[in-house]
Chain A
Amino acid sequence: MSRIVVTGMGVISSIGNSVEENRSSLKNAVCGISKIDENFPSRFAGVLPFAQIHTSTENLQKQLNAYEPGVTRTSLLALHAFEEAITSSRLTAAQITSYDTALIGASTVGGICLTDQLYADANAATGGSEYLQSYDGASVNMYLQKRFGVGGIINTINTACSSSANAIMYGARLIKSGRAKRAIVGGVDCIAKFTLNGFNSLFILSDEICRPFDAGRKGLNLGEAAAFLILEREEDCTEKNILAVLSGYANSNDAYHPSSLSDDGDGPYLSMSQALHIANLTAKDISFVNAHGTATENNDEVESKAMLRVFNKPPAFASTKSNIGHTLGAAGAIEAVYSILNIMHQEVYPALNFSNPIPSTGLIPVQAYSAMPVQHVMSNSFGFAGNCSSLIFSRA
């Protein structure tokens, strides 16, 4: 069986509007998290820190020439990353519209970024806004499908914070099974009053900039981002620049609690171990782990314990959530892009805001930029309802 390779990618996040800008920010330890703009329609405006993309929805529309009725900020961010990904992979219009090109996306918020609009539409007696068909997660990928005429299997996955890792996995499996020749895979989420209040009601939002894996961490910061990757079969890419190989993936369920992980991290342990098994690698082969590392009390300790179980002596690791916050449905895809950057440039980026290790595990993330040999990178994404996914990217 031909290997599944990555031939293109695109990203927009609070630390840059392209893959190159993101890499530069990661190298230079740029943090994209700050207090939410005053004009955000929430009482948390100007209060809680958040990793925002500082381009207005109107400007995104203008830049992307995207004026379709009902198009949401979530769809626009997705479009931005999608265009960069297909351009970087040099996919032709004929390839995109071909029956064997799949589009697998992920979003947890979809059009609910328009929280107040949804409230109005849900309760309106007559009329209704232009967004009536835009609230679900599927709306984002249906928009992209229509705009580009993507011809193959289309899907949207929502497993909370692991959604886009699972979208990548599903795309790879479609190719492996022969149902697609190439897959455009990724995820997107943007700031919503809805999710902000949801996470706040669970008491896991930090009022300070987040500190992944630090003993004094106080919770997560939400962020907005979109990322897409192009997956193809290696045999079809003789003329192409191969960025990395997707060598392993796995999903497992922690089956412990709706919104927190089990003490010993059974779910994370299983997803990491099974991904290694699929990749035909052992724990010592992994050069670097892009950890889920949300900076919540529960996640970071449990993920540390699970890493100790899998690796015994864990390799270099860090969480890029200290740069871009927790981007929920986009997290798995954007962190996949960052993992591939680790491989392409043989370098690792520093975790920010870390000072003291968690006493029970003592693990210390990478704290300075360094050039180092990076052969295989594992990227973790764990979501509500115990949904745990791990991906492994390898040097081509």
Chain B
Amino acid sequence: MMFIHDTVCISPQQSYLQETLFSGSNEIKSPVKNILYAIEPSYEMIPPGILRRMGRAVRLGIGAALPLTKKEGKPFDGIIIGTSMGGMEDCVKFLNQIIEYNEGTLTPTNFVQSTPNAIAGQLGLMTKNNHYNITHVHRGFSFENALLDVDMLLNDDKNRTYLVGAADEISSYNYNIERLAGGYKTEPLTGNNLFNSLSPGTIAGEGAAMFIINGDAPKAKAAIKAVHIFQTENEEELRKQIQHFMQAHIPQSASCLLLSGENADSRYQHYYHCCESLMGTSSSIARFKHLSGEYPTASSFAVWLAAEILDRQQLPAFCVKKQVNNAIESVLVYNNYKGIQHSLVLLQKA
């Protein structure tokens, strides 16, 4: 069992530190041209000279992580990050340099910032942390593998404390590639009504969520009980895997909230229906992609949201799809990335 002790989230919504969506006074932000950009904080903890050189994903990740490293006060026993592409913006900026200067004398900053391990690496560097440092990049399983990693580490020694999280950015380039691949809706949404627009494609999102995780139950915000990932394009196989997971880990589905990664992409909606049907009629259902947008590590936003819901014992109206009762003992995050990568993360009250 892993325990989440603190979190910081930078997302397209007000989620950073105290000023969260849960405060009540903050409105839900809507996508503009089907894109939800993260609301970036002022990054006061990053020295300006370093901040200027940081790519977007690196900035989001480190901006979310530094308040936690400060709070912890001593080096974490490891820094474990999931990111699908890291700094794609820097990657293509470097590419542009290659083409523009015909492979002449190029500045290495974009190249160095574009490597996906720049987030974990630079965090290690800025906080003088010599411990385990890793970057998982398996697209829609990047964050889930980070969780599996820390779970294994805590099984070896439950007295350790880790910084775990994920970050991905929207750059004009990865947006363009994803758009050409048919990832986004062609009809523009108005307001925040994603779920009323069932059609091929979804909306773009980005963000970073960071967690302090250790093996101690006291004072934790929430616990992560189980993490499961599997690949399939077969609904029967999906049903089998979810049933097996629920039998093993969810004895009381009535008090379990399903936090569904539904993204209004008509091609994949049937997977979410399948999961909903397995939860039974007595479970509440909530959704989050209208808040975060879609990106490979969007499940990290969901885990942040789930931990807040469990900690506050409050299910905000803005994410409810179906509310049955108010007692929420556990939250099952089901997410699917592009119809093939499926993940289940089960959180419960600490």
- A interface list, Cβ under 8 A from B: 42-44, 108, 112, 115, 118-119, 121-124, 126-128, 132-133, 135-139, 141-142, 145-146, 153-160, 166, 170, 173-174, 176-177, 179, 193-194, 197-198, 200-202, 251-259, 266-267, 270, 383-387
Contact = CB atoms under 8 A, between A and B. Distances in A.
Nearest to B79: A253
Contacts of A42: 103
Contacts of A122: 92, 95, 173-174, 176-177
Nearest to B95: A119
B28 interface: no
B145 interface: yes
Contacts of A119: 92, 95-96, 98-99
A384 B108 contact: no
Interface string B113-132: 00111101110110111111
Contacts of A194: 91, 94-95, 98
A133 B182 CA distance: 11
B180 A173 contact: no
B103 A43 contact: yes
B327 interface: no
Which of A179, A267, A385 has the most C-beta atoms of chain B within 10 angstroms of its own C-beta?
Answer: A385
Nearest to A116: B99
A299 B306 CA distance: 44
B130 A267 contact: yes
Interface in B179-233: 180-181, 229, 231
A157 B135 contact: yes
B92 A270 contact: no
Contacts of B103: 42-44, 193, 197, 200
Contact of B130 (A118, A135, A266): A266
A150 B130 CA distance: 35
Given A259-B112, A386-B121, A138 B138 contact: yes
A198 B94 contact: yes
B117 A160 contact: yes
- The 6 A-B residue pairs with the shortest CB-CB distance, nearest first, are A385-B121, A128-B180, A198-B111, A253-B133, A138-B139, A122-B173
B139 A387 contact: no
Nearest to B124: A253
Contacts of A383: 117
B138 A253 contact: no
Contacts of A253: 79, 121, 124-125, 129-133
Given A170-B134, A251-B133, 16 more contacts: A108-B115, A124-B176, A135-B177, A138-B138, A154-B141, A154-B231, A158-B135, A173-B152, A252-B132, A253-B79, A257-B125, A258-B118, A384-B112, A385-B125, A386-B125, A387-B121
Contacts of B151: 177
Contacts of B92: 118-119, 122
B107 interface: yes
Contact of B116 (A137, A153, A176, A197): A137
A112 B116 CA distance: 13
A200 B180 contact: no
5 contacts: A119-B98, A142-B139, A153-B229, A197-B98, A385-B121
A255 B177 contact: no
B85 interface: yes
A174 B148 CA distance: 9
A127 B121 CA distance: 36
Contacts of A156: 136-139
A103 B340 CA distance: 16
A384 B121 CA distance: 8
A385 B120 contact: yes
A202 to B, nearest CB: 5
B148 A153 contact: yes
A124 B149 CA distance: 38
B231 A385 contact: no
Contacts of A108: 115
B155 interface: yes
A158 B180 contact: no
A241 B145 CA distance: 31
Contacts of B231: 142, 145-146, 154
A128 B124 CA distance: 38
B131 A179 contact: no
Contacts of A193: 98, 103
A139 to B, nearest CB: 8
Contacts of B117: 158-160, 383-385, 387
Contacts of A112: 91
B106 interface: yes
A146 B136 CA distance: 20
B194 to A, nearest CB: 23
A43 B103 CA distance: 7
Nearest to A250: B132
Contacts of B112: 198, 202, 258-259, 384
Given A159-B135, A170-B149, A385-B124, A202 B111 contact: yes
Contact of A136 (B84, B118, B120): B84
Nearest to A110: B137
B243 to A, nearest CB: 14
B265 to A, nearest CB: 15
B227 to A, nearest CB: 10
A177 B130 CA distance: 24
A47 to B, nearest CB: 10
B247 interface: no
A255 B95 contact: no
Contacts of B128: 255
B141 A155 contact: yes
Given A132-B181, A253-B124, A158 B111 contact: no
Nearest to B105: A201
B21 to A, nearest CB: 30
